[in-house]
Amino acid sequence: MELPLKIYNRISIFYLFCIAILGVLLRLMFVNPVGFSYKNILHTHSHIALLGWVYSAIVVLLYQLFIRKKYRNRKKFCKIFIATQITIIGMFITFPIQGYALFSIIFSTLFLLCSYWFAYFFIRKTDIKLKNSNSYKLAKTGLYYLILSSVGPWSLGIIMTKLGASSPWYKNAIYFYLHFQYNGWITVIILACFLYLLEKSNISLSKNLFKKFSVFLHISIIFTFFISVLWMKPTSFIYGLAVGGSILQIIAFGILLKFTQISWKHLKKSFSKFQKQLLFILGFIFLAKIIMQLLGSFPNFANSMALDREIVIGYLHWNFLGIGTFGLLFFLQYFKMIKLKQLETYIFLLAFILTEALLFYKGLILQIGGNLFSSYFLYLFLASCVFLLATGIIFIRNLRH
Ligand code: HEM
């Protein structure tokens, strides 16, 4: 059995629309009670976002770029994809009804097994000609981060039974998972897609430069995990690792930026005007993220930010929506896997700017002890509705595509 590529893409875009609905529902609950359990909807939103939208979009992208050519592999991929979708639909049904309980745990565990199956498939079946490319090497490490992130959910079971959900290790296991998802898996795949794009234009980082870039990048990904445990006010050694990791990430980004700048004269021919704008915006979002990350590694900032839910959610969504979602939409569009026009892209960016500004505003106001303007939650809800418009247009456009 085999499905056309557009079906795979439509499925992930459908999840994107669904998580926007769930996110808006969560924000509506701060304005008006709507009779759903906040916790259950939050679990549904976060699982469908990371596993439904981001994961499905990435595996289809990796499949299309590195594997699809061989007929035999198409059937195998279809099997893996369908098995994964069953687990995602299972989570979509069980999380709103029962939250974290037997059936949702079974489906999320089966999902993890399907993701290992995909990782094995990818590493074995990638086109032999691509195996020496920098983009493949980076994509492969992206999959290692995906596997590493799953240590978080596996350890939750042990922590729950031995230490209880109020233990700091419970929170750290979730932060471990989130960190290796957005800083590891998602970011590395976005970077691998960028290298693939360069290679398609016959531009490739030299062996030495790629090695340097990879070493800085991977050490930085490991070390910046320690930012997630700064809320526990650990020893200064841990702060040192967090700051060191953030600086290394800036250096890694600098290497790639400099290389892109040098190759720009040749590279710019591969982009339309619209794509160039999107790439600049993506670069800016990335730059802002690594600066925020560096600030968050210092004790003064870390102590106040870690306790501030709005800043944590604002920072996480900067990564999920700015780098993950916007980055994936850019590459899906660039590789002609989805249709994306200026209208919905700019509406999406408007929603991103408005919601991030409101989240950081609340965080800062709480820091300085000021008062929120009245109807703050109503405005946050309305700003989030703009995402519904953007993702709705993307979904409908791709249904018709
Ligand atoms: C499309 C627009 C989105 C909206 C309106 C939205 C909204 C929200 C809201 C209101 C929360 C709960 C915050 C709280 O309890 O304080 C949340 C949590 C979360 N969202 Fe989103 N979200 C969106 C997109 C995404 C995307 C694209 C991802 C991932 C790819 C994502 C992943 C998460 C995760 C993992 C959490 C849980 C964070 C935690 O509990 O620490 N969201 N989101």
Q: How far, CA to CA in Å, does 228 sit from each of 239, 300, 351?
A: 11, 15, 27
pLDDT at 72: 73
Residues lining ligand 1, Cβ inside 6 A = 19-20, 23-24, 26-27, 42, 45-46, 49-50, 53-54, 309, 313, 316-317, 320-321, 324-325, 384, 387
Average pLDDT, the chain: 94
- Report the atom number in ligand 1 closest to the C-alpha of 321: 27
pLDDT at 401: 63
Which of 14, 21, 36, 313 most suits a substitution to test ligand 1, by most atoms within 8 Å of the C-beta? 313
Mean pLDDT throughout 353-364?
94
CA of 18 to the centre of ligand 1 (A): 12
Residue 70 has pLDDT above 70, yes or no: yes
pLDDT tier at 305, thresholds 50, 70, 90: confident
Mean pLDDT throughout 261-267?
91
CA of 210 to the centre of ligand 1 (A): 34
Which of 15, 19, 21, 326 most suits a substitution to test ligand 1, by most atoms within 8 Å of the C-beta? 19
Ordered DSSP codes for 244-261? HHHHHHHHHHHHHHHHHH
Residue minimizing CA distance to atom 33 of ligand 1: 46
Residues 1 and 78: beta-carbon distance below 8 Å: yes
Residue minimizing CA distance to atom 7 of ligand 1: 23
Residue 164, judged by CB atoms within 10 A of its CB (0-12, 13-18, 19+), counts as exposed
Instruction: Give 317 or 70, the one with higher predicted confidence.
Output: 317
pLDDT at 301: 81
Q: How far, CA to CA in Å, does 63 sit from each of 129, 130, 205, 233?
A: 15, 12, 23, 42
Residue minimizing CA distance to atom 41 of ligand 1: 313
Alpha carbon distance, N-terminus to C-terminus of the chain: 23
Tens of pLDDT, residue by residue over 205-229, are 999 999 999 999 999 999 999 999 9
Mean pLDDT throughout 341-361?
97
CA of 86 to the centre of ligand 1 (A): 23
pLDDT at 338: 96
Residue 160 has pLDDT above 90, yes or no: no
Instruction: Give 249 or 366, the one with higher predicted confidence.
Output: 249
pLDDT at 22: 98
Q: pTM, whole model, 2 decimals?
A: 0.95
Residue minimizing CA distance to atom 22 of ligand 1: 23
Instruction: Give 69 or 149, the one with higher predicted confidence.
Output: 149
- Report the atom number in ligand 1 closest to the C-alpha of 38: 15
pLDDT at 186: 98
Residue 38 has pLDDT above 80, yes or no: yes
Distance in angstroms (rounded) separating the CA atoms of residues 213 and 195: 12
Mean pLDDT throughout 171-196?
97
Residue 143, judged by CB atoms within 10 A of its CB (0-12, 13-18, 19+), counts as buried
Mean pLDDT throughout 69-94?
92
Distance in angstroms (rounded) separating the CA atoms of residues 2 and 75: 5
Residue 397, judged by CB atoms within 10 A of its CB (0-12, 13-18, 19+), counts as middle
pLDDT at 3: 81
Q: Provide the 3-class DSSP secondary structure of residue 70.
A: coil
Residue minimizing CA distance to atom 4 of ligand 1: 23
